[in-house]
Amino acid sequence: MNIIDRATIDKIMSAANIVEVVQEFVTLRKSGVNYKGLCPFHNEKTPSFFVSPTRGICHCFSCGKGGNAVTFLMEHEQMTYPEALKWLARKYHIEVKEKELTDEERQAESTRESMFIVNEWASGYFQRLLHEHEDGQAVGLQYFRSRGIRDDIIRKFCLGYDLPSRDALPQEAIKKGYKEEFLVKTGLCYKRDSDGRLNDRFAGRVIFPWFSVSGKIVAFGGRLLDSRTKGVQLKYVNSPDSEIYHKERELYGIYQAKRAIAKENCVYMVEGYTDVIAMHQAGIENVVANSGTALSYEQIRMLHRFTPNIVLLYDGDEAGIHAALRGTDMLLSEGMNIKVLLFPDGDDPDSFSRKHTTEEFRQYIDGHQTDFIQFKTDVLLTGVTDPIKRSEAISSIVRSISVIGDQIIRATYIHDCSQRLGIQESTLISSMNKFIRQQRADRRQAAEREQEAEERRQEEALAQQTAAPARPAAPVQRDHRQEVEMMIVRLIVRYGERNITVKDEDDCPVTLPVAEYIDSDMAADDLHFQLPVYEKIRQEAVAQSADKDWTAENWFLHHHDVDISKTAAELSVERVRLTKSLQKDVDEETLRERVIHLMADFRLDYVENRMKEIKQSLNGVTDADTMRSLMEEFSRMQIIRNALARQLGNNIIV
């Protein structure tokens, strides 16, 4: 199903800049001709994720994931192919003319995509109510303005308003053709117990949409207005977890903040929606909120891909201080540098900003950040004289220091603490080492448990395999054939357009592109690749190689067929650093030998398998004619095999 036409796909493919696309999710630093950053697909503290702008691909040398701009988005954002294309089209201002979908095609749209579409519509609906409906203007807009929020900021965060009636939104949505199923799945509505009718979850609230890091609306937060907050109803209501929204993976404001976070190399962490908005209004855009709970590992890792520096902003009251201390060891152990900023008199960024000018607000933020360990020492030890409490506090501080990965930073903190607390450095160090040993033991145990679980899984898989009917082909043989096929296809992808000179049947030299040679050599014996995608690549390569300007690698890496471009990306980077593989300086002679050698290897493999098959067939044959013809084929294969083996033996390539 392709709902976007080929010309548009090609336009999108050539506009997409891999560095810009990846940078939407990871801060990249220049590294030679490439860029590198922390891999968004696995957890790491030193970068092994490379992006090659010249080749238009990215690749992680640790976990192996990557691809071109489209496959990167599909993998990282769990987008479908059309979703990824549309996302890129929006980014590069390319108009997408979508075909009118048939019912069947609409059915096939993924659930996730349908949920995003419903959320997108709902956000537009809430915004229209806020700006155009008279209740929205009188109640919602009035509320935001009374909180000092400027109109441009209201637009920037797509704030909205929902009518008090619980039926209005579902009725409007159904009328517009959105399915009940997705209204419920996104959490916009829930079913009434009594009669199963749909109820609007956010009725009568002002609306704060949550954008994912890629700019899709994943959830909504709704706040009751001041006059109605009395009584039992909750002041804030959020979308429940769903297929597109996992509370512990999202951060409010990340989409609007990510550029500034990368640019400032720092992120401010606040508590609520309005704090984020107040900061933006003061011109500080590198700010996110996670609504109360402690940060999860997923959230920390997402931030870490943009910057290692975080400043926690909290009210200066008891609760705020407690919140600031919560979950901080997790940040430290993930390699983040933490600073803390407390507002005076129980103010939060929102309330503080309303009492001061923008300039004063900014100055306060710049001038009142404290190093985290120092902050923790001050909070836990100021005025504490009870020896047991003091010892507990010191222990907690040392534990925080012990989770920091960098040895030099740890040593510096220990030195500072020793000075400030008047405790011998050696005492603190031995206490810290105890913590470190404990953490290592814990990690080892966890790793062992994981290892045991893995072994169990493998044993079970093996048991299942043996229980299943025996397969005829030996697995070792199959692996070798796969390997050879992969290497041949890699030659097509990387060097398909390059000319080599070989001898034809009459021993005359002919010059032809690698892709064509491989294809005709296979066709001569009616050989095929086992993987369908390899066959697709082979056929395309032959068709394209007639074109003088064709370069195989570029063509395949950005192919509109995701199957092909993904395979090409894997083949083109595997086991080779991007920097090295950039040099396509294999000379013709080496290339020619490599091609011929691999083709001989491929054929040898085929011949040996065929010989085995013949032997097996011979066992059951009683008919003399069949037996004779099988024997003849066998001896033909034997001759070919010996010739191939000789050729390979003489032609060993290192």
Stretch that binds Zn ion, among 8-16, 57-65, 142-150, 614-622 (CB under 5 A): 57-65
Contact 230, 212 (CB under 8 A): no
**Per the structure block, which two tokens stand in for 547?**
């074109």
Stretch that binds Zn ion, among 59-67, 269-277, 295-303, 519-527 (CB under 5 A): 59-67
For Zn ion, the binding residues in 269-288 under the rule CB under 5 A are: none
- Smallest gap from residue 61 Cβ to Zn ion (A): 8
Q: Where are the alpha helices (DSSP H) in 199-272?
A: 254-264
Considering the complex, state which of residue 62 and residue 499 has its C-beta at the smaller distance from Zn ion: 62
Contact 465, 431 (CB under 8 A): no
Q: Print the binding letters for residues 16-55 with Zn ion: x by CB under 5 A, - otherwise.
A: -----------------------x-xx-------------
Stretch that binds Zn ion, among 63-71, 199-207, 349-357, 620-628 (CB under 5 A): 63-71
Considering the complex, state which of residue 37 and residue 320 has its C-beta at the smaller distance from Zn ion: 37
Considering the complex, state which of residue 39 and residue 69 has its C-beta at the smaller distance from Zn ion: 39
Considering the complex, state which of residue 284 and residue 302 has its C-beta at the smaller distance from Zn ion: 302
Q: How many residues bind to Zn ion according to rule CB under 5 A?
A: 6
Name the 3-class secondary structure at 288: strand
- Smallest gap from residue 586 Cβ to Zn ion (A): 28
For tokens 């490379």, the residue is 50
- Smallest gap from residue 215 Cβ to Zn ion (A): 23
Dist. CA 321–CA 379, nearest whole Å: 8
- Smallest gap from residue 62 Cβ to Zn ion (A): 5
Considering the complex, state which of residue 24 and residue 113 has its C-beta at the smaller distance from Zn ion: 24
Considering the complex, state which of residue 39 and residue 522 has its C-beta at the smaller distance from Zn ion: 39
Q: Where are the alpha helices (DSSP H) in 186-253?
A: none
19, 63, 486, 630: which one contacts Zn ion (CB under 5 A)?
A: 63
Considering the complex, state which of residue 26 and residue 340 has its C-beta at the smaller distance from Zn ion: 26
Dist. CA 235–CA 205, nearest whole Å: 9
Burial profile 393-412: b = 16 or more Cβ within 10 angstroms, e = fewer:
bbeebbbbbbbbeeeeebee
- Smallest gap from residue 47 Cβ to Zn ion (A): 10
Residue 384 contacts by C-beta under 8 Å, 6 or more apart in sequence?
390, 393
Q: According to the binding rule CB under 5 A, does residue 331 interact with Zn ion?
A: no
Q: For residue 155, which phi and psi values (nearest 5 degrees)?
A: -70, -40
- Smallest gap from residue 118 Cβ to Zn ion (A): 33
Contact 398, 424 (CB under 8 A): no
Burial profile 441-462: b = 16 or more Cβ within 10 angstroms, e = fewer:
eeeeeeeeeeeeeeeeeeeeee
CA angle 423, 427, 428 (to 5 degrees): 80
- Smallest gap from residue 573 Cβ to Zn ion (A): 13
- Smallest gap from residue 25 Cβ to Zn ion (A): 13
Q: Which residues here bind Zn ion, judged by CB under 5 A?
A: 39, 41-42, 60, 62-63
